[in-house]
Structure 1
C-alpha cells in the first residue's frame, strides 16, 4: 500500500506539470487581460498608460517567460497576485477553500443518506411500487438541469416561504464562534446542499440497485439460501457487502468532484467558495486566480482517483494493491 501511494504521488508530478503548461497557454490564448477591463471601464485611463503598466507587469513577455516566472514562484508557495483584488492569490483562496470543503462534505453526506437506502430498497424489492417510485425519482434527478432545480429551490424556499436565506454563507452581522453564527451558517448551507444532493443521488441509486439485482442471481447467494440462511442475513452479510463495493470505488472521485465542480451551485446561491470565485475571475480576466483554481481542480481529480483505489482495497480484503 505504501509503495502504491508513493508511486502514484511521484506520478502526479509530471501530470501536474503538463496540466500547468496547458492551463497557462489556454489562459494566455484568451482575448485581453485584466488591464483590458480597466481600460474599458475607466474612460480616463489612457491606452498609453495601460500599455506602460502592462509592460511593467510583464504581460507583454512571451508566454514561456511568464510561465517560467509563475512556476518558479509557485514552487516557493507564491502563486502570484490577483490583478483585480490586489492581494496574494493564497490569501484570496484561504476562506474560499474552507467554504467549498464544508459545502462539498455536507452535500456528499446528504447524498449518501438519501441514495443508499433508496438503492437498497429498489434493488431488494424489484418491480414493487416502491421500486417504481424510486426509479421515477431517479429519472427526474438525471434529467433535471442542476441550475434549473437550484433556482426553483431558491424561489420556493427563500422567496415564497422565506424559510432559508438565498445567498451568502453567513450573516455578516454575527460574530464568529457564537451559537447564532453557527446556526446562520447551517441555514445558509441548507438550500445549496439539498439542491446538489437531491440531483446527485441518481448515479449511486442506479449503481446500487443494479448491483443488488445482479448479486441476487449469483451462485453464492443461491447456496446460502439453500443452506437455510435467513433472507435478512443473505442481504446484509452477502449481497450488500459486495454491492457496496462500486460505491466505495467512486467515493474518492465523488469527494474531489464535488470540491472542483461546485461552480453552478455556488454561483446561483452566491456562495463564496472556489466555484463562485472561478466565475468572477473569468469575467474579470484575473488569470493568476483562474490558473490556480484550474490547477486545484486537476490535482483534485488525480488525488481522487488514488483515493478511490485505496478505499476499495480497504473495504475489500480480497483486493491488494502492490
Structure 2
C-alpha cells in the first residue's frame, strides 16, 4: 500500500503540473481580459494596469510567477472583485458545499432504495414507472426543471421562496437563521436531487440485477434468510462496490456540479461567482477555480481506489 501511494502521489503531482499549464495557457491565450474589455479605462490606464499585474510578460514567465504564488497559497487576485481569489473562495464555497452535501446524501439514499426495489421487482409496474421517470429526468434540462418548480412551488403555491439564501433584509440569528437557510435551500436541493437520482438509480439497478442472480444469493435464500436481509445485507453490499469508483467524481462535483442551479436560484455560491467571472472575463478567478477542481479530481480518484481496496481486499493495488 505504501509503495502504491507513493507512486500515485508522484503521478498526481505530474498530472497537476500538466493540468496547471494547460489551464493557465487556455485562459492566458484567450483573447481579451477584464482590463482590455473595460470601456471605462483609457488606453494609457489599460497599459499601466497590464504592467502592474504582469499581463504584458511572456506566457512562460507569467506561468512561472503564477505557479510560484500557488505554492505559497496565493491563487491570484480577482480584478473584477478586487479581492484575493482564495478569500473569495472562502466566502462563497461553503454555501455551495452546503447545497452539494445535502443533495448528494439524499441522491444516494433515494437511488439505493429505489434501485434495490426496482431490481428486485424487475419488469413490474414499479420498475416500469421508475425507468420512465429516470429517462425523463435525464432528458429534461436542469434549467427547465428549476424554472418549472419555481413556477409551481414558489409562484403559484407559495410554499417555498424562489431564490436567494436569506429573505431580503433579514437579520435572523441562531436557530431562526438556520431555519431560514433551510427554507431557502429546499427548492435548489430538490432540483439537484432530481437531476442526480436518475442516473445513479439506473446504475444501482443494473448492479443489483447482476448480483441477485449470483449463486451465493440463491444459497442465502435457500438457508431461509428473510428477503430484506438477502437484499440489503448480502446483495446490496456487493452491488455497492462498483459504485465506490463514483466517489472520485463526487468530490469535485461538490463544488462544480451546481453552477447552473445556483444561477437559477440566485444562490450565493461559488457557481454563481464562477458564472459572473465568465461574463467579466475575470481570468485569475476562473483559473483558480478550475485548478481547484483539478486538484479535487485527482484526490477523489486516489480516494476511490483506496476505498475500493478497503471494501474488497481481493483487489490488489500496484
Q: TM-score range by the shorter chain?
A: over 0.9
Shift of residue 130 of structure 1? 1.2
Any residues of structure 2 matched to 1:73-92 within 5 Å, and which?
73-92=69-88
What's 1:34 paired with? 34
Q: 1:113 aligns to what?
A: 109
Relative to structure 1, is the Cα distance of residues 172 and 220 closer, same or farther in structure 2, using a 3 angstrom cutoff? same
Q: Does 1:142 align with 2:130?
A: no
Deviations 1:181-215 (A, max 9, x none): 11111112111111011121122211211122112
Structure 2 residue 198 is the aligned partner of structure 1 residue 202 = yes
Instruction: Give the 5 Å matches for 1:17-28.
Output: 17-28=17-28
Shift of 1:219: 2.1
The 10-residue stretch of structure 1 (294-303 or 305-314) with the greater mean CA deviation from structure 2: 305-314
Q: Is the 2:108–2:197 contact (alpha carbons within 8 Å) kept by the matching residues of 1?
A: yes
Distance 1:37 1:160, change over 3 A: farther
Displacement of 1:281 after TM fit? 0.9
Match among 248, 254, 263 for residue 250 of structure 2: 254
Q: Distance in 1 between matches of 2:224 and 2:69?
A: 67
**Do 1:104 and 1:255's aligned partners in 2 also have CA atoms closer than 8 Å?**
no
Looking at structure 2, the residues matched to 188 and 232 of structure 1 have their Cα atoms a distance apart, in angstroms, of 37
Output the CA distance in 2 between the equivalents of 1:230 and 1:53: 72
CA RMSD of aligned residues (A): 2.0
Decide whether aligned partners of structure 1 residues 51 and 236 sit closer, same or farther in structure 2, where only a CA change above 3 A counts. closer
User: Paired residue for 1:294?
Assistant: 290
Partner in structure 1 of residue 59 of structure 2: 63
2:165 aligned with 1:160, yes or no?
Answer: no
Q: Gapped runs of 5+ residues in structure 2?
A: none
Structure 1 residues 221-236: aligned runs within 5 Å: 221-236=217-232
The offset of 1:91, in angstroms, is: 1.2
Partner of 1:132: 128
Greater displacement, 200-209 / 174-183: 174-183
Supply the distance in 2 between the matched residues of 1:221 and 1:56 (Cα, whole angstroms): 69
Aligned length: 318
Q: What corresponds to 2:308 in structure 1?
A: 312
Change (3 A) 1:5 1:133: same
Q: TM-score, normalised by structure 1?
A: 0.91
Gaps of 5+ in 1: none
1:35-91, Cα deviation, whole Å (9 max, x unpaired): 12322xx2xx32233223223332111111211111111111122211111111111
Name the stretch that deviates more: 56-65 or 224-233.
224-233
